[in-house]
Structure 1
Amino acid sequence: MILDLFGLIGAYAAGSCRDVSTSIHAMALAGAVLVYVVIHVVFFTLDHKDKKDTVQEHQLLEKRRKRLLLFAILAATITYQAGLTPPGGFLLQDDKLGRHHAGDPVLLDNYPRRYNAFFYCNSISFMLSIALIILLVNPNLYRPAIQSNALSVCTAVGLFCLMGAYVAGSTQHLKTSIYIFALVVVVLLVVVLLLLVFLLKGLNKNGNNSAPKEQDEEGKKEDGNNSATKEQDEEEGRKGEGKKVGEKTRDEESQKHARRKYLMLLGILVASVAYQAGLEPPGGAWQSSSNGYEEGNPVMHDNRRPRYLAFFYSNSTSFMASIVIIIMLLPQWLPKKEEGEWEKWSLRVMNRTIVLDLIALLVAYATGSNRGWKTSVYVIALIVAVLCYFAIHMTLSKCSDRRHKAAKGTQSA
């Protein structure tokens, strides 16, 4: 498996660029990632003694490993394809001045800086994904790497590089790139604001709950002699209730893990689809500069500009929302005492974000899959019909469940 991954790195370095120096730089990125992870893990484990993980900690570690491995596999897939087939296509003929040859990327010929930004951001994301897979396959390596959050840092850097590659490769115009950067900043600011709101709510709750706790402590001191027998009875009752509470918490944890896994899967799949569609828009790109058209620009951008803009910004919104969902699922930001409340709140936010994500993806598909507004209306009508079917099916299933429960209640009575 490791030999397979190293072969993939060599194929990417040889096929994604046309000169030896760039290939060496691409290969060096993989080594730099592995060196960083080793240094991060070594510094983290210097002051930590070897401790045996409990069953619960081992299960949580395995769950995080699966999520990281899922992201790494899909990220490596899309970045590998994007590196070998860069946006804008390739030159069909040699340059008359001998500067460029057939097979060189069009974006490199028109905007070398933009192409370099796309290439290195995409390459960093690819090498990070391959390094994650190599580390996650070996249990002796991924345990300290996950516990030290080294792999979470690598994943976050890979996501930001994926954003940079999308911004640089999805358009050849600086103004549009600025708009996409503004969209990224807005999305990140929304996440930060939501996190601050959550922290402020937690502080207010702690402040309101401190007063009644002090009153209860004073009352307990006054009734200390009379409460000895009550405490014994309460302890016996707590033992019986502890088992029920433990079972409930296990069920809740399994449900939360399932929701996080589905959200991660949806976020990665939508991000991969939107990334490829943004770099290779529908209709292709102009292969030569003629009749007022610039080489490498999307054909749809010049022929049907409003439709292309609707597709482009809907696709970009879907991509950025997916990246935000993945970022929110990766780290452990809060301490264990506040982790439960954070998970409930963050899952609600991510559920709403994934709805926005999918709606934007549907709009991008409706505008980019055809060239006539009439056909787009038909596609939207199909989407509405499917949603109506699901709504009717859900209401009927709920009504049938209520009838079954009512029938069981009458029979038991």
Structure 2
Amino acid sequence: MLIAIFVATDAYVAGLNPPGGFWRSTEAAGDPVLPGLHPIRYKFFFFSNAISFIASLLAITFNVYYEKLDLKRIKFPLYGLTVTAILGLGGAYAAGSCRDSRHTGYVLGLIVPVLVCIFLQWFLVGSNAISLPFGTRGSKQYNNDLDKPCELIQLLAILAAIVAYQAGIDPPGGVWADNGASHSGDPILLTTHPRRYKVFFYFNSVAFVASLVIMVMLQNEFLVRSHVLEAAMILDLFCLIGAYAVGSCRDTSTSIYTVALAGGVLIYVVIHILFSTLEKKSDKQGEEDKIKEHQLEKKRELLLLVEILAATLTYQAGLTPPGGFWENDEFGHRAGFPVLLDKFPIRYKAFFYCNAASFMASVALIILLLNRNLYGPGIKCYALFVCMVAGMFGLIDAYAAGSSMHLRTSIVVLILVTVVFAAVVYVAIIGRGQRANINQHQSKQTQNQQTNKEDGMMDTPRQTQDQQEADMKKKADMMAKYLMLAGILAASVAYLTGLKPPGGLWRDEGNGHSAGNPVLYDIDKRRYNAFFYSNSTSFMASITVIVLLLRRMTKGDEHKLPLWPMHTAMLLDMLALLGAYAAGSTRNWCTFKDAILLLLPVLGFVVILFFWKKGGEEKHDGSK
């Protein structure tokens, strides 16, 4: 299901925004550039992308009706459609990411060395795989031990494939617009910095192809048990680091500094672990250790989820920064260089390094979270949590620096950041006060239980109450996961939309506007401000929800915070996101009002459906 959703999302976006962009100043304005210059290549891209999109939608449909269609024994329709969607996406990437047949052949040929690398590790592992710590084949433990690595590797492969596909179709530096028939639709960086572009292209292509191969090979149990796919995933992540370092800047020294950020994170975590484990050695085994191991795995999954979010956002924002790129060399500008770098160099550097620090920290943490010997002590001594919080604040600062060209607006965003931080600290202090009361209450309950046992009293009502509490805890945990996913979705949408606002950006200077500034700001300032502040509120509320839920999920049952603050923040988040959509998707206030009013029939339908279903359940219970 996850793979099909990812393929459908990427194929849909690429179909509406094909590689090469659109004509602007000719009679065919709005038509794709690629069909006129490379018709065969465009047709190959179009049909591959369309096949991928249709196959992914069918795969999603089969997943939804999996049990009803009785396809448990007939796996070919589901897996066949998924593989078809993946191969179609690979073909679309090969056709759309470059403009000559030689490089297209190289991209398609990359699948061979990736497969060779995987099977070479397979043969090298050989008989050692038998001794790996998995349960007996067919047992519940065996299935769980296989499912967890598969889910994590699948998430990481989807992350790498999403960002690599979008970066290949929309390369850093942009594409030539109307600069002659020989250049239109081609990557600017290929002309101005050919070596740098080729290094980026091959790093990005290896990451994309490796991700697709990993998705297909996940069906092989031996590759999962022998950790071969995890090793391939680490290679994939290193390729993303190389592509980001080369594509996000235009000079070698800055690329080296960017890679050094990832090295700094790894060194810090290792040093933190070494100093934190010098005097903490224990060999105790038992039921308590199993509980701690389960909690450790939950924390690992949460950290991976948050870091995947941060890496996805920062990779795209780093390669295509806010303000866009210069498309020509006129007036002293340099084609392919960020507009923000020339207009506001200090602001651009603040955005660049905050975004780069967040990306490198995220990828470094993901690599550490793939190794049990590193993420175990790293989570216990909170080294990984420190890096995660630093990466989140880097993401917030990058948003503040890149989402607006005005100092006053950035200050307002930073004030929102301060409010979010103060709210988190306040909740943490309140939680400490509640913890002492809970501990006292639990100690009294324990004493009462012991007294009842000594007196020989039956505790059947107590068992019923424990079962109810367990059910409520399970529902609360499911709600927390739902809120976490909703917060991640809203944060990703708000972050990218804030850096690339609706209406686009000015590409030239003159007539009272400045290159890199939002077009909507000069056309309708009130509408832009409504969009900007609503979007910023949604982003900050999403970060608040994520941080609060992380704190709740990583604590024991007796230390967990109530869910109502997260519900309130999520309600504010969704309302702000709705306001940002209504303000940014239209250009007149009547349509804005209609977009807001569309919420009413949806809510009415949900309420009617709720009462209708509730009445049916009551009638069914009465007949019983």
Q: Does 1:373 align with 2:605?
A: no
Cα–Cα, structure 1 residues 254 and 333, in superposed 2: closer, same or farther, change >3 Å? closer
Measure, in 1, the Cα distance between the counterparts of 2:599 and 2:557: 43
One-letter amino acid of the counterpart of residue 395, structure 2? L
What secondary structure, in the 3-state scheme, does the structure 2 residue paired with 1:102 have?
coil
C-alpha displacement of 1:152: 1.5
Q: Relative to structure 1, is the Cα distance of residues 393 and 337 closer, same or farther in structure 2, using a 3 angstrom cutoff?
A: closer
Aligned: 1:256 with 2:476: yes
**Structure 1 residue 332 displacement after superposition:** 6.3
- Structure 1 residues 96 and 335, CA gap change in structure 2 (3 angstroms): closer
Provide the residue aligned with 1:166 in structure 2.
399
* Correspondence 1:240-389 to 2 at 5 A: 244=464, 247-331=467-551, 336=556, 338-339=558-559, 342-343=560-561, 345=562, 347-389=563-605
How far apart, CA to CA, are the structure 2 residues paired with 1:136 and 1:14?
Answer: 25
SS in 2 for 1:237: coil
CA distance, structure 2, for counterparts of residue 41 and residue 18 of structure 1: 36
Residue type at the aligned position of 2:485: L
Q: Is the 8 A contact 1:87 1:279 kept in 2?
A: yes
One-letter amino acid of the structure 2 residue matched with residue 351 of structure 1: H
**SS of structure 2 residue aligned to 1:179:** helix
Matched position secondary structure for 2:322: coil
1:2 aligns with 2:234: yes
Q: Is the 8 A contact 1:67 1:261 kept in 2?
A: no
Give the distance between the partners of 2:496 and 2:541, measured in 1 at CA. Answer: 15
Partner of 2:117: none
Q: How far is 1:27 from its partner?
A: 0.3
Q: Which residue is equivalent to 2:25?
A: none
Pair 1:244–1:44, CA change in 2 (3 A) = farther
| Deviation of the 1:404 alpha carbon | 2.9
Q: Is the 8 A contact 2:509 2:515 kept in 1?
A: yes
Choose from 129, 146, 150 the match for 2:379: 146
Structure 1 pair 148–371 and aligned structure 2 pair: CA distance change class (3 A): same
Instruction: State the match for 1:156 in structure 2.
Output: 389
Q: Work out which structure has the larger RCO, using CA pairs closer than 8 Å and 6 or more positions apart in sequence.
A: 1
Aligned-pair identity (%): 50
Q: Which structure 2 residues correspond to residues 199-210 of structure 1 after superposition, within 5 A?
A: 199=432
Residues 152 and 330 of structure 1 are in contact (CA less than 8 Å); yes or no, is this contact kept in structure 2?
no
Hey, what's the Cα distance between the residues in 2 that align with 1:246 and 1:64? 25
Q: Using the TM superposition, give the Cα deviation of residue 60 of structure 1 relative to its aligned residue in structure 2, in angstroms.
A: 1.7
**Aligned residues of 1:152 and 1:331 also touching (Cα < 8 A):** no
Cα distance change of structure 1 residues 231 and 368 upon mapping to structure 2, 3 Å threshold: closer
Cα pair distance change 1:84/1:407, threshold 3 Å: same
**Partner residue in 2 for 1:396:** 612
CA distance in 1, matches of 2:623, 2:419: 52
Letter paired with 1:84: L
Gaps of 5+ in 1: 221-227, 409-413
Deviation at 1:236, TM superposition (A): 4.9
- Following superposition, the deviation at residue 200 of structure 1 comes to 5.0
For the structure 1 residues 174 and 231, does the alpha-carbon distance in structure 2 shift closer, same or farther, using more than 3 Å as the test?
closer
Distance 1:43 1:256, change over 3 A: farther
Give the RMSD, CA atoms, in angstroms: 2.7
Contact 2:307 2:363 in 1 (8 A): yes
| Inter-CA distance 56–199: structure 2 relative to 1 (3 Å threshold) | closer
What's the CA shift for 1:255?
2.5
CA distance in 1 between counterparts of 2:306 and 2:427 reads 24
CA deviation string 1:166-214 (max 9, x = no partner): 000001110100111112222332333344455556668899x89xx8x
1:105-144 matches, within 5 Å, as 105-144=338-377
1:56 deviates by 2.2
Work out the CA distance in 2 between the residues paired with 1:69 and 1:47. 28
Number of matched pairs: 385
Residues 232/23 of structure 1: CA separation in 2 closer, same or farther (3 Å cut): closer
- Is the 8 Å Cα contact of residues 114 and 168 (structure 1) preserved in structure 2? yes
Shift of 1:329: 2.0
Distance 1:307 1:108 in 2: 27
Q: Provide the residue aligned with 1:65 in structure 2.
A: 300
> Which one is further off, 293-302 or 142-151?
142-151
Q: 2:336 aligned with 1:103, yes or no?
A: yes
Aligned pairs for 1:222-237 (under 5 A) are 234-237=455-458
**Match of 1:181?**
414
2:279 to 43, 47, 51: 47
1:232 Cα deviation (Å)? 5.2
Following the alignment from structure 1 to structure 2, what is the Cα–Cα distance between the partners of residues 242 and 58? Answer: 28
Q: Partners of 1:196 and 1:112 in 2: how far apart?
A: 40
2:368 and 2:434 map into 1 onto residues whose CA distance is: 38
Counterpart pick for 1:18 among 245, 250, 257: 250
Residue 39 of structure 1, CA deviation: 1.2
How much has 1:292 moved relative to structure 2?
Answer: 1.0
The aligned amino acid for 1:49 is: K
Instruction: Deviation per CA, 1:252-303: give whole Å up to 9, x if none.
Output: 4432332222121111111011000000000111111101111111000000
Q: 5+ residue gaps in structure 2?
A: 1-232
| Pairwise CA distance, 1:93 | 2.0
Q: What TM-score do the two structures reach when normalised by structure 2?
A: 0.58
TM-score after normalising by structure 1: 0.85
Distance 2:452 2:354 in 1: 62
Deviates more, 1:246-255 or 1:84-93: 246-255
CA distance in 2 between counterparts of 1:358 and 1:332 reads 21
Distance in 1 of aligned mates of 2:495 and 2:271 = 32
Query: Partners in 1 of 2:241 and 2:571 — Cα distance?
Result: 36
- Whether contact under 8 Å (2:299, 2:554) holds in the other structure is no
Matched to 1:4, the amino acid is D
The whole-number CA distance in structure 2 between the counterparts of 1:205 and 1:65 is: 27
